[in-house]
Amino acid sequence: MEESPIFFDKYFFPVIIPLITALIGWFAKQFYYRFFQLPKVLVHLGHFVQQPGIDYYFIKVICTTKPINITHIYIDEKSTNSTIHLDNENALLPVRLEPPDIYETWIKKDMIKDHEGVYKNVKVHLSTNRVLKSRKNKWVPDFGRIGGLVNARPDPDTQITQSSGYFED
């Protein structure tokens, strides 16, 4: 029973508490970089108002804190072990984004075979050789314009889009 205070004095306070503090700091830093520092890549399904029968996957890159150069955007289809490179003449690459710029491009749904995994399989390659991974954009309004056509030749017939769902789960 007398060893209990010695354990706390000798091990708990000088070793365990700093270790727990370091772990909490590491997790807080990871959370911060995950949600606030890195550019975001979001994917959602929608269609152009002028072409209601043709669905597209829209890929949006949001520059959050520091300038980035996007060189390539591609989709890794795990089910077919293939890669689909996006080459959209209305949203040209490479492109440089400064905060808070956004860049958006699209691809026909028919060109994708893995519709379940497309939301996590879009990759954005930066000039620094960093590859950003995508996630599903759950907060898409029903109706809107394509955002951030930086370095693009916009076509007026492909500017207004309609989403497949509002605040999807």
Categorise residue 52: left if φ over 0, alpha if ψ from -120 to 50, beta otherwise.
alpha
Give the integer Cα–Cα distance in Å for 103 and 78.
25
Q: How many domains does the chain contain in total?
A: 2
Band of residue 21 on the pLDDT scale cut at 50, 70, 90: confident
- The domain that holds 135 is classified in CATH as 2.60.40
Closest by CA position to 72, among listed 84, 82, 57: 84
- State the DSSP code for 9: I
Give the integer Cα–Cα distance in Å for 86 and 93.
9
Q: In terms of domains, do 7 and 49 share one?
A: no
Please write the tens of the pLDDT for every residue from 28-59.
Answer: 877 776 666 678 999 999 998 888 889 999 99
Structural domain including 81 reads: 39-163
Handedness of CA 114, 120, 126, 129 (dihedral sign): negative
pLDDT of residue 9: 65
pLDDT of residue 154: 47
Q: In terms of domains, do 17 and 62 share one?
A: no
Residue 131 lies in a domain: yes
